[in-house]
Structure formats: structure tokens, C-alpha cells
Structure 1
Amino acid sequence: MKLSARNQIKGTIKSVTKGQTTAHVQLEVNGTVITASITNEAVDALNLKVGQSAYAVIKASDVMVAID
């Protein structure tokens, strides 16, 4: 599948938590956890499971970073 998003980060699915309509998927990347909010339907269609390899695909025109 071809994507136009430039930022694709490979990791391992740490957790999948479904809500009423939206799921939170935690992806561990080199010890850092990225959390994505996607639809429950997307979780089912992609058959996401804990322990699987997956990509966080970040598509945004602006990304803000704050340093503590």
C-alpha cells in the first residue's frame, strides 16, 4: 500500500483499548510509547493484536514539539 505520509514509525503494539466508538492503540518504539486514537472498525479491519509489529503513520501539516 502506498501512503503519502512521510512519517512512518515502526514499533510493537503494546495495548489496544476499545471505547464506545474510538480505540486507543499504544505502540512501543525503542522504549517510547506512541498512542493513536482510531475507530473500533479500523482496529477490527486491521486485526490489531498486542505483540504485533505495526507502523504509526503521522500525517500532519504542522507538528508541535515542546521541550521540558
Structure 2
Amino acid sequence: MSIKSVNARNQFQGVVKEIIEGPVVSEVDVETPSGIVTSVITTRSVKELGLQVGTPVLALVKSTEVSIATLA
């Protein structure tokens, strides 16, 4: 399957660096040229996508809110 188009404008190509698998959800760290992007997805999705350390992926970021805090 290939992606023809998506409406998520923030896209980062990278490689899976680490997967912390839980019974229901898992954390997937993706190493990109700009740094690490972490996604929390269902463990079922990790398995269905065949994600493993070293898998090349595209991280798609779509958010309606970005919070900002000041540093002390």
C-alpha cells in the first residue's frame, strides 16, 4: 500500500528507534533528521504495521492544539 495524499502537513521521515510495548498502547520513538518524535499508538497497530526497530516510517503530526510553557 502507498500513500497518495494526506491532509496532515507536518510529516517527518524517520526510522523506528525504540518501541516500549504495553498491553494496550505502546510508545514508538522515531528518529528523524530533526530529532526524536514519539507516538503513542495501540499495540495492535504496532503489530499490524509490522513495526520493529529499524523500520523506516513516516510520522504524520496533526494537532488542533499546541501548548507552550515558559522556562524558569
Structure 2 equivalent of residue 58 of structure 1:
61
Matches within 5 A, 1:1-68: 1=3, 2-30=5-33, 32-65=35-68
Structure of larger gyration radius: 2
Give me the TM-score of the superposition, normalised by structure 1. Answer: 0.83
CA RMSD, 1 decimal: 1.7
User: Which segment is superposed worse, 14-23 or 25-34?
Assistant: 25-34
Q: Which runs of 4+ in 1 moved over 6 A?
A: none
Task: Give the count of matched residue pairs.
Answer: 68
Give me the TM-score of the superposition, normalised by structure 2. Answer: 0.79
Unaligned runs of 5+ in 2: none
**Percentage of pairs with the same residue:** 31
Unaligned runs of 5+ in 1: none
